[in-house]
Amino acid sequence: MNDKLLLATSNQGKVSEYRTLLKEIPLRLVTPAELGITTVVEEVGQSLEENARLKAVALAAESGLVALADDSGLEVDALGGEPGPLSARYAGEGASDRDRVNYLLSRLKDVPWEKRTACFRCVIALATPAGDVKTCSGECRGFIAFEPKGEHGFGYDPIFYLPAFKKTMAELPPEIKNRISHRGRAARKVYRLLTRKPFNLLKG
């Protein structure tokens, strides 16, 4: 196994979180930009797992490294599970995090608190250059707040409210978010895969 792990994302929020979540693995985390890779993999899958696999397999093949890709989504019960795999594009192509948050809140403007339940889901795919793939998933349940609060995190974090903490995800210190978040839970499973000796994605 090469001494590098490619984080198949250009999302700096994700890169920062993975550098923390996987800091104990015996590999150097690198990004496509650091390797001069400009390939953009279209997320055309019908599920989080399909999208994560597409990105990981494509970047592993191009880089010759084991690649890690995730797809994360917010599933809002009152919206029938939307935005789900479309979370990053929910307010249209080129929309900002603020645009997406405001659009989601507009869809929920008449929904009472008790019906604003939601789930953050994350699927991480690890792929080898040969095309072997393993996936790990994690989830975190909460509510959609009526307005954004908090300066940490990214995406929908400012409106994802966690009753146990009485705060939104964006109000939590990063170390707590990483412990309880959907991405943190999936990453801990990935950590166990990457530190298993000998490393073999097909094992288990």
State the DSSP string of 70-109. EEEEEEEGGGTT-EETTGGGTT-TT--HHHHHHHHHHHTT
Rounded CA separation 166/176 (Å) = 13
Tens of pLDDT, residue by residue over 55-109, are 999 999 999 999 999 999 999 999 999 999 999 889 998 899 999 999 999 999 9
List the CATH number of the domain containing 45. 3.90.950.10
The encoded tokens of residue 19 equal: 């550098």
pLDDT of residue 11: 87
Render the burial of 37-57: b for 16+ CB within 10 Å, e for the rest.
beeebebeeeebbbbbbbbbb
Rounded CA separation 84/46 (Å) = 10
Range of the domain at 54: 4-194
Closest CA to 55 of 16, 5, 7: 7
Residue that the structure tokens 């707590």 belong to: 176
Cβ contacts of 12 within 8 Å, gap of 6 or more: none
Say how many C-beta atoms besides its own lie within 10 A of residue 89's C-beta: 13
Give domain status of residue 204, yes or no.
Answer: no
Give domain status of residue 52, yes or no.
Answer: yes
pLDDT of residue 19: 94
Query: Is 99 part of the annotated catalytic residue set?
Result: no
Give domain status of residue 202, yes or no.
Answer: no
Strands (E), 128-166: 133-144, 160-162
Query: pLDDT-derived band of residue 45, with 50, 70 and 90 as boundaries?
Result: confident
Tens of pLDDT, residue by residue over 180-191, are 999 999 999 999
Give domain status of residue 182, yes or no.
Answer: yes
The encoded tokens of residue 120 equal: 């953050």
pLDDT of residue 204: 54
**Annotated catalytic residue: which of 3, 70, 71, 132?**
71
Give domain status of residue 114, yes or no.
Answer: yes
Give domain status of residue 175, yes or no.
Answer: yes
For range 25-48, the mean pLDDT: 91
3-class SS at 54?
helix
Give domain status of residue 137, yes or no.
Answer: yes
8 A C-beta contact, residue 100 and residue 90: yes
Split into its structural domains, the chain has a count of 1
Give domain status of residue 159, yes or no.
Answer: yes
